[in-house]
Amino acid sequence: MTLTVHTISGAPRGWRILLALTFKGLDYDIRYLQASAQEQRSAEFLALNPRGKVPVLAVGGDIVLRESLAILTWLERQYPEKPIFGETPEEATRIWQSTSESCHYLRDAIHDVLSVVFNSDGSVPADGSHEMTALSEAAASLHAECHALEDLLGDQAFLAGERPSAADAVAFPEIRLIQRGIEIRQALMSAIGFANLPFSYPKLAAWMDRIAAVPGFEKPFPRIGKPSPPHDKTRKAKNDLNPLSPPSAWRSPLTSHTDLRRTGVFSYRAGNDRPAARS
Protein backbone atom coordinates (compact mmCIF):
# COMPACT_ATOMS: atom_id res chain seq x y z
CA MET A 1 0.00 0.00 0.00
CA THR A 2 1.72 3.17 -1.24
CA LEU A 3 1.49 6.26 0.97
CA THR A 4 1.84 9.55 -0.88
CA VAL A 5 1.86 12.87 0.96
CA HIS A 6 0.81 15.89 -1.08
CA THR A 7 2.23 19.01 0.53
CA ILE A 8 4.18 22.21 0.03
CA SER A 9 7.80 22.16 1.09
CA GLY A 10 8.08 23.58 4.60
CA ALA A 11 4.34 23.82 5.26
CA PRO A 12 4.13 23.07 9.01
CA ARG A 13 0.94 21.03 8.86
CA GLY A 14 2.27 18.91 6.03
CA TRP A 15 5.50 18.50 7.95
CA ARG A 16 3.48 17.05 10.85
CA ILE A 17 2.52 14.11 8.65
CA LEU A 18 6.01 13.60 7.30
CA LEU A 19 7.45 13.57 10.83
CA ALA A 20 4.80 11.13 12.04
CA LEU A 21 5.60 8.78 9.16
CA THR A 22 9.28 9.12 10.04
CA PHE A 23 8.65 8.41 13.73
CA LYS A 24 6.75 5.25 12.73
CA GLY A 25 9.50 4.17 10.34
CA LEU A 26 7.09 3.93 7.38
CA ASP A 27 8.00 4.21 3.72
CA TYR A 28 6.25 7.02 1.87
CA ASP A 29 6.44 9.22 -1.19
CA ILE A 30 6.21 13.00 -1.24
CA ARG A 31 4.56 15.01 -3.98
CA TYR A 32 5.56 18.64 -3.54
CA LEU A 33 3.18 21.26 -4.87
CA GLN A 34 4.52 24.61 -6.04
CA ALA A 35 2.83 27.34 -4.02
CA SER A 36 4.22 30.00 -6.36
CA ALA A 37 2.30 28.36 -9.22
CA GLN A 38 -0.82 27.89 -7.05
CA GLU A 39 -0.76 24.16 -7.73
CA GLN A 40 -2.88 23.61 -4.63
CA ARG A 41 -5.66 25.37 -6.57
CA SER A 42 -5.30 23.23 -9.68
CA ALA A 43 -8.16 21.02 -10.83
CA GLU A 44 -6.01 17.95 -10.21
CA PHE A 45 -5.40 18.82 -6.56
CA LEU A 46 -8.91 20.14 -5.92
CA ALA A 47 -10.14 16.69 -6.92
CA LEU A 48 -8.21 15.41 -3.88
CA ASN A 49 -9.13 18.24 -1.53
CA PRO A 50 -11.83 20.71 -2.64
CA ARG A 51 -10.58 23.17 -0.01
CA GLY A 52 -7.26 23.49 -1.81
CA LYS A 53 -5.22 22.90 1.35
CA VAL A 54 -2.31 20.66 2.23
CA PRO A 55 -1.58 18.09 3.48
CA VAL A 56 -3.39 15.30 1.69
CA LEU A 57 -2.47 11.66 2.17
CA ALA A 58 -3.29 9.34 -0.74
CA VAL A 59 -3.31 5.65 0.15
CA GLY A 60 -2.89 3.56 -2.96
CA GLY A 61 -5.59 4.58 -5.42
CA ASP A 62 -8.53 4.10 -3.10
CA ILE A 63 -8.22 6.30 -0.01
CA VAL A 64 -7.69 10.07 0.12
CA LEU A 65 -7.34 11.73 3.51
CA ARG A 66 -7.15 15.42 4.41
CA GLU A 67 -6.69 17.51 7.59
CA SER A 68 -3.47 16.84 9.45
CA LEU A 69 -4.94 15.65 12.76
CA ALA A 70 -7.31 13.29 10.97
CA ILE A 71 -4.39 11.87 8.98
CA LEU A 72 -2.34 11.38 12.17
CA THR A 73 -5.27 9.48 13.70
CA TRP A 74 -5.63 7.26 10.62
CA LEU A 75 -1.92 6.47 10.63
CA GLU A 76 -2.13 5.43 14.28
CA ARG A 77 -5.04 3.07 13.66
CA GLN A 78 -3.65 1.65 10.44
CA TYR A 79 -0.08 1.25 11.70
CA PRO A 80 -0.23 0.75 15.49
CA GLU A 81 3.42 -0.22 15.75
CA LYS A 82 5.54 2.58 17.22
CA PRO A 83 2.47 4.42 18.53
CA ILE A 84 2.40 8.21 18.32
CA PHE A 85 -0.67 8.62 20.55
CA GLY A 86 0.53 6.49 23.46
CA GLU A 87 -0.36 3.09 24.83
CA THR A 88 -2.19 3.99 28.05
CA PRO A 89 -5.06 6.39 28.73
CA GLU A 90 -2.72 8.63 30.72
CA GLU A 91 -0.11 8.73 27.95
CA ALA A 92 -2.73 9.39 25.27
CA THR A 93 -4.14 12.24 27.34
CA ARG A 94 -0.71 13.86 27.75
CA ILE A 95 -0.07 13.60 24.02
CA TRP A 96 -3.46 14.99 23.01
CA GLN A 97 -3.21 17.80 25.56
CA SER A 98 0.21 18.88 24.25
CA THR A 99 -0.94 18.48 20.65
CA SER A 100 -4.02 20.62 21.26
CA GLU A 101 -2.02 23.33 23.03
CA SER A 102 0.47 23.49 20.16
CA CYS A 103 -2.32 23.65 17.58
CA HIS A 104 -3.89 26.61 19.32
CA TYR A 105 -1.81 28.56 21.83
CA LEU A 106 1.65 27.96 20.38
CA ARG A 107 0.55 28.35 16.77
CA ASP A 108 -1.39 31.54 17.51
CA ALA A 109 1.53 33.06 19.42
CA ILE A 110 3.93 32.23 16.60
CA HIS A 111 1.58 33.68 14.02
CA ASP A 112 1.18 36.95 15.94
CA VAL A 113 4.96 37.43 15.98
CA LEU A 114 6.18 35.91 12.73
CA SER A 115 3.44 37.21 10.44
CA VAL A 116 4.90 40.63 11.30
CA VAL A 117 8.54 39.55 11.17
CA PHE A 118 8.33 37.65 7.89
CA ASN A 119 6.36 40.43 6.23
CA SER A 120 8.83 43.12 7.27
CA ASP A 121 12.10 44.34 5.81
CA GLY A 122 13.84 43.31 9.04
CA SER A 123 14.31 46.81 10.45
CA VAL A 124 13.57 47.34 14.15
CA PRO A 125 10.67 49.74 14.90
CA ALA A 126 11.45 52.72 17.12
CA ASP A 127 11.17 52.20 20.87
CA GLY A 128 7.77 53.31 22.10
CA SER A 129 6.20 53.15 18.67
CA HIS A 130 2.85 51.44 18.22
CA GLU A 131 4.50 48.81 16.01
CA MET A 132 7.18 47.97 18.58
CA THR A 133 4.73 47.89 21.47
CA ALA A 134 2.39 45.53 19.64
CA LEU A 135 5.24 43.28 18.53
CA SER A 136 6.74 43.18 22.04
CA GLU A 137 3.39 42.19 23.52
CA ALA A 138 3.03 39.42 20.97
CA ALA A 139 6.59 38.29 21.68
CA ALA A 140 5.81 38.08 25.41
CA SER A 141 3.06 35.57 24.64
CA LEU A 142 5.42 33.54 22.46
CA HIS A 143 8.08 33.51 25.16
CA ALA A 144 5.44 32.23 27.59
CA GLU A 145 4.65 29.35 25.23
CA CYS A 146 8.34 28.50 24.85
CA HIS A 147 8.76 28.49 28.63
CA ALA A 148 5.72 26.20 28.90
CA LEU A 149 7.34 23.74 26.49
CA GLU A 150 10.60 23.89 28.46
CA ASP A 151 8.66 23.04 31.62
CA LEU A 152 6.81 20.25 29.82
CA LEU A 153 10.05 18.71 28.61
CA GLY A 154 11.62 18.72 32.06
CA ASP A 155 14.12 15.86 32.11
CA GLN A 156 12.34 13.75 29.49
CA ALA A 157 13.53 13.30 25.92
CA PHE A 158 10.32 14.28 24.13
CA LEU A 159 7.20 16.27 24.90
CA ALA A 160 5.19 13.30 26.18
CA GLY A 161 7.87 10.91 27.34
CA GLU A 162 10.91 9.04 26.14
CA ARG A 163 9.86 8.47 22.54
CA PRO A 164 8.61 10.86 19.86
CA SER A 165 4.86 11.23 19.51
CA ALA A 166 2.23 13.22 17.70
CA ALA A 167 2.88 16.04 20.18
CA ASP A 168 6.43 16.36 18.84
CA ALA A 169 5.31 16.06 15.21
CA VAL A 170 2.95 19.00 15.71
CA ALA A 171 5.19 21.24 17.83
CA PHE A 172 8.50 20.82 15.99
CA PRO A 173 7.55 22.62 12.73
CA GLU A 174 6.15 25.51 14.76
CA ILE A 175 9.30 25.94 16.86
CA ARG A 176 11.38 25.62 13.70
CA LEU A 177 9.57 28.73 12.44
CA ILE A 178 11.12 30.73 15.28
CA GLN A 179 14.58 29.58 14.21
CA ARG A 180 13.76 30.56 10.65
CA GLY A 181 12.78 34.02 11.83
CA ILE A 182 16.15 34.36 13.56
CA GLU A 183 17.97 33.28 10.42
CA ILE A 184 16.36 35.80 8.09
CA ARG A 185 15.41 38.70 10.42
CA GLN A 186 18.10 38.47 13.07
CA ALA A 187 18.08 42.10 14.26
CA LEU A 188 14.31 42.24 14.61
CA MET A 189 14.10 38.88 16.38
CA SER A 190 16.92 39.91 18.71
CA ALA A 191 15.05 43.10 19.63
CA ILE A 192 12.13 41.01 20.95
CA GLY A 193 14.27 38.56 22.91
CA PHE A 194 14.90 35.84 20.35
CA ALA A 195 18.56 36.50 19.58
CA ASN A 196 19.66 32.94 20.29
CA LEU A 197 17.03 30.24 20.68
CA PRO A 198 19.35 27.54 22.08
CA PHE A 199 20.77 29.93 24.68
CA SER A 200 17.33 31.11 25.82
CA TYR A 201 15.64 27.71 25.65
CA PRO A 202 18.27 24.98 26.09
CA LYS A 203 15.77 22.17 26.63
CA LEU A 204 13.97 23.04 23.41
CA ALA A 205 17.33 23.10 21.63
CA ALA A 206 18.25 19.65 22.94
CA TRP A 207 14.78 18.39 21.98
CA MET A 208 15.26 19.70 18.43
CA ASP A 209 18.57 17.85 18.26
CA ARG A 210 16.92 14.61 19.34
CA ILE A 211 14.23 14.92 16.69
CA ALA A 212 16.85 15.71 14.05
CA ALA A 213 18.64 12.49 15.08
CA VAL A 214 15.59 10.30 14.36
CA PRO A 215 16.46 8.01 11.41
CA GLY A 216 14.93 9.36 8.22
CA PHE A 217 14.61 12.95 9.46
CA GLU A 218 16.48 14.33 6.45
CA LYS A 219 13.91 13.06 3.95
CA PRO A 220 11.03 15.36 4.93
CA PHE A 221 13.20 18.35 5.83
CA PRO A 222 12.18 21.35 3.69
CA ARG A 223 13.96 21.68 0.38
CA ILE A 224 16.16 24.65 -0.37
CA GLY A 225 15.17 27.44 -2.68
CA LYS A 226 16.34 30.95 -3.40
CA PRO A 227 15.53 33.71 -0.91
CA SER A 228 12.48 35.77 -1.75
CA PRO A 229 11.86 39.45 -0.98
CA PRO A 230 9.70 40.50 1.99
CA HIS A 231 6.05 39.65 1.58
CA ASP A 232 3.37 42.18 0.88
CA LYS A 233 2.56 43.48 4.36
CA THR A 234 -1.14 42.95 3.75
CA ARG A 235 -0.54 39.19 3.70
CA LYS A 236 -0.61 38.10 7.31
CA ALA A 237 -2.51 34.85 7.22
CA LYS A 238 -1.10 31.83 9.03
CA ASN A 239 -0.50 30.32 5.61
CA ASP A 240 2.43 32.75 5.17
CA LEU A 241 4.60 30.98 7.73
CA ASN A 242 6.97 28.49 6.15
CA PRO A 243 10.19 27.28 7.83
CA LEU A 244 12.78 26.63 5.14
CA SER A 245 16.49 25.88 5.33
CA PRO A 246 18.23 22.55 5.86
CA PRO A 247 19.69 21.12 9.07
CA SER A 248 23.10 22.34 7.85
CA ALA A 249 21.85 25.90 8.17
CA TRP A 250 21.14 25.61 11.87
CA ARG A 251 23.63 22.93 12.88
CA SER A 252 26.76 23.79 10.90
CA PRO A 253 29.53 24.83 10.77
CA LEU A 254 29.01 23.90 14.42
CA THR A 255 28.00 20.38 15.36
CA SER A 256 24.89 20.84 17.47
CA HIS A 257 22.56 23.21 19.27
CA THR A 258 24.87 22.79 22.27
CA ASP A 259 27.67 24.35 20.22
CA LEU A 260 25.36 27.15 19.11
CA ARG A 261 24.38 27.77 22.72
CA ARG A 262 28.01 27.88 23.82
CA THR A 263 29.20 30.28 21.15
CA GLY A 264 26.06 32.36 20.69
CA VAL A 265 26.49 32.10 16.91
CA PHE A 266 23.91 31.23 14.27
CA SER A 267 24.80 30.47 10.69
CA TYR A 268 22.63 31.73 7.84
CA ARG A 269 21.93 29.88 4.66
CA ALA A 270 19.60 31.07 1.96
CA GLY A 271 16.21 29.44 1.92
CA ASN A 272 12.79 30.02 0.50
CA ASP A 273 10.35 31.78 2.82
CA ARG A 274 7.50 31.95 0.40
CA PRO A 275 4.01 31.44 1.82
CA ALA A 276 2.54 27.96 2.00
CA ALA A 277 -1.08 26.85 2.10
CA ARG A 278 -1.91 24.05 4.51
CA SER A 279 -4.59 22.53 6.69
64: pLDDT strictly greater than 60: yes
Tens of pLDDT along 172-215?
Answer: 999 999 999 999 999 999 999 999 989 999 999 999 999 999 99
> 31 forms bridges with which residues in the sheet?
6
Band (pLDDT 50/70/90 cuts) for residue 222 is confident
Q: Is the pLDDT of residue 234 over 90?
A: no
Length of the chain: 279
Query: Which pLDDT band holds residue 223 (cuts at 50, 70, 90)?
Result: low
* Contact of 227 with 271, CB cutoff 8 Å: yes
| Distance of alpha carbon 259 from alpha carbon 4, whole angstroms | 36
**80 pLDDT tier (thresholds 50, 70, 90):** very high
139-159 b/e with 16+ CB inside 10 Å = b? bebbbebbeebbebbeeeebb
DSSP alpha helices (H): ranges in 41-196? 43-46, 68-78, 89-101, 107-118, 130-153, 166-184, 186-191
The pLDDT-based confidence of 55 (bands split at 50, 70, 90) is: very high
pLDDT at residue 62 in the model: 87
Q: What's the whole-number mean pLDDT along residues 97-125? A: 96
State in Å, rounded, how far the first CA of the chain is from the last one: 24
β-strands 3-7, 29-32: how paired?
parallel
Q: Among candidates 186, 172, 175, 148, which has minimal Cα distance to 68?
A: 172
The DSSP result for 158-184, as a single string, is BTTBSS--HHHHHHHHHHHHHHHHHHH
